[in-house]
Amino acid sequence: MEEVTVKSKFAKPSHKVFFPIVRFFSFLYTRIFLGYRCKDKYKIKEDESVLVLSNHQTDEDPLCIVTAFDKPVYPVATDNIFSGRLLNKFFSYCAVIPKSKGKPDFRAVMRMQNYLKAGRSVLLFPEGNRYYAEFQFYITNELPMFLKRTKATLVLFNIHGGSGTSPRFKNKRRHGPFSGNIKTVLTYEQYSQMEDEEIYSFIMDNIRVFDSERGNKYKSNKRAEYIERMLFCCPKCGKFETIYSKGTNFYCSSCGMSAEYGEDLLIHGVDGMTRLVDFWEFEKKAVREMTVVPGKVIFHDENVRLLNTEPFKDKIELCEGELSLTDSEIKCKDHSFDVRKITSASIVSGRNLVFKYEDNDYTLRGSKRFNPVKYIFAMHKLDTEMQRTGIDKYYDIWS
């Protein structure tokens, strides 16, 4: 029944009419306002299904990538963006495929499979998250089996420079090269002869991008500002929630540590840590080894909004006030949630912590310097379903 529905849905002529319009305005927007360049073009044959896999650096990546294709390419996106009546209608009309964030979503997998079997094309960011610290490493090893079931043409796409022009912690864009290219293409006839492990290694090798290794410069006199959206532990004294940023540097309010975030996307001034991914792993280790005292606040923030953000429904603001996390609960003003009943949690954009509690979706939206990463890491240390299953490999502190 699902496959019939999908094929009928894709029979709508409006998609073929609407896509060139989206593609045209995407080209103008990404070229003029983002400085994005992509010389590669891929002509999708009639009835050819294409699975596009790409690294994921910026919120605008889908707009950048669709400009390289002459026929509709349907992106997979977190279902959290469908919260709100207008956005729900827009993304649904564009046939964006919703996926639950931070956990497996078999319904989304079936939809992707049926779309591809129906002769359509899908865009997937297999890492599942935007960069915080360049390439995120983890991609499910079930991807080769999925690819073989669909028999789709595999197109591997690379975004370059997004972690320089638009790092996830940024408040404003930076100046520097931002581009995309089709790295390689594999037809079903080619990869059907390959072992799953060989396909997986091929995907990993061709989708991996480290902007800090390319030697490009990204200029801004506020390069480090808002880096505390990602960094929350001082590498010198080990104190939590003491990092603050100004201009091109960030500091520790406890020990006075000072470091620069350079135009080369490297950290200068901290021994043994030159890349953001080094801090990422350091902070995971710090949370993994921290002592949790029952009933004592682990992390806290002021001026946080709590919203009910059920996909495909209007957002409802529940409260605004102080946010705190202990070993047993996460509390925003007078709303409290038992951490043991939180089944998944992730981050949307830079400062939105989304989580599922008793089959309801909630969003904690902080102020400009709000760091949601520390809460996610802590939830993987505490007695939560996320800690027990370890499904979310990117935020899992034990992997």
Among 72, 236, 213, smallest CA distance to 134 is for 213
- Percent of the chain surpassing pLDDT 70: 90
Going by pLDDT thresholds of 50, 70 and 90, the confidence category of residue 3 is: very low
Q: Both tokens of residue 126?
A: 């297999």
- pLDDT attached to residue 382: 93
Give the CA radius of gyration of the chain. Answer: 21
Same domain, 240 and 338: no
Whether the per-residue pLDDT at 12 is higher than 70: the answer is no
Mean pLDDT, range 292-298, rounded to an integer = 95
CA 398 and chain centroid, separation = 20
Same domain, 176 and 266: no
Going by pLDDT thresholds of 50, 70 and 90, the confidence category of residue 8 is: very low
- pLDDT attached to residue 133: 85
Whether the per-residue pLDDT at 351 is higher than 80: the answer is yes
- pLDDT attached to residue 88: 55
Mean pLDDT, range 270-298, rounded to an integer = 94
Q: Both tokens of residue 253?
A: 């309010």
Going by pLDDT thresholds of 50, 70 and 90, the confidence category of residue 6 is: very low
Whether the per-residue pLDDT at 326 is higher than 80: the answer is yes
Residue 394 lies in a domain: no
Residue 294 lies in a domain: no
Residue 398 lies in a domain: no
What range does the domain containing 130 cover?
2-213
Q: For the chain, percent helix, then strand, then coil, each to nearest 5?
A: 30, 25, 45
CA distance 239 to 283: 11
Structure letter (DSSP) for residue 79: G
Same domain, 269 and 319: no
Same domain, 18 and 45: yes
Strand boundaries in the chain, DSSP class E? 36-37, 50-54, 73-78, 97-99, 121-124, 153-160, 178-186, 243-246, 249-252, 258-261, 267-268, 299-308, 316-325, 329-332, 335-338, 342-348, 352-357, 360-365
Whether the per-residue pLDDT at 207 is higher than 80: the answer is yes
Mean pLDDT, range 130-140, rounded to an integer = 82
Going by pLDDT thresholds of 50, 70 and 90, the confidence category of residue 391 is: confident
Going by pLDDT thresholds of 50, 70 and 90, the confidence category of residue 85 is: low
- pLDDT attached to residue 327: 94
Same domain, 108 and 252: no
> Which range (232-241, 246-255, 370-379, 390-399) has the least confidence?
390-399
- pLDDT attached to residue 93: 62
Same domain, 59 and 124: yes
CA distance 192 to 184: 16
CATH number at 312 reads 2.30.29.30
Into how many domains does the chain fold? 3
Whether the per-residue pLDDT at 46 is higher than 70: the answer is yes
Residue 397 lies in a domain: no
- pLDDT attached to residue 89: 61
CA distance 290 to 334: 27
Q: Strand 121-124's sheet: what is its strand order? A: 36-37, 178-186, 153-160, 50-54, 121-124, 73-78, 97-99
CATH number at 59 reads 3.40.1130.10
Which residues fall within 8 angstroms of residue 198, CB to CB, at 6 or more apart? none
Same domain, 65 and 91: yes
Same domain, 281 and 303: no
Contact between 266 and 275 under an 8 Å Cβ cutoff? The reply is yes
Domain ends where: 182, 213, 244? 213
Note if the pTM is more than 0.75.
yes
- Over residues 164-192, the pLDDT tens digits come to 999 999 988 899 999 999 999 999 999 99
Whether the per-residue pLDDT at 5 is higher than 80: the answer is no
Which residues fall within 8 angstroms of residue 102, CB to CB, at 6 or more apart? 344, 345, 346, 354, 356, 386, 391, 392, 395
Same domain, 98 and 244: no
Mean pLDDT, range 269-292, rounded to an integer = 94
Residue 101 lies in a domain: yes
Which residues fall within 8 angstroms of residue 84, CB to CB, at 6 or more apart? 314, 315
Same domain, 273 and 323: no
Q: Which residue has the higher pLDDT, 4 or 17?
A: 17
Residue 221 lies in a domain: no
Going by pLDDT thresholds of 50, 70 and 90, the confidence category of residue 130 is: confident
Going by pLDDT thresholds of 50, 70 and 90, the confidence category of residue 102 is: low
Same domain, 71 and 179: yes
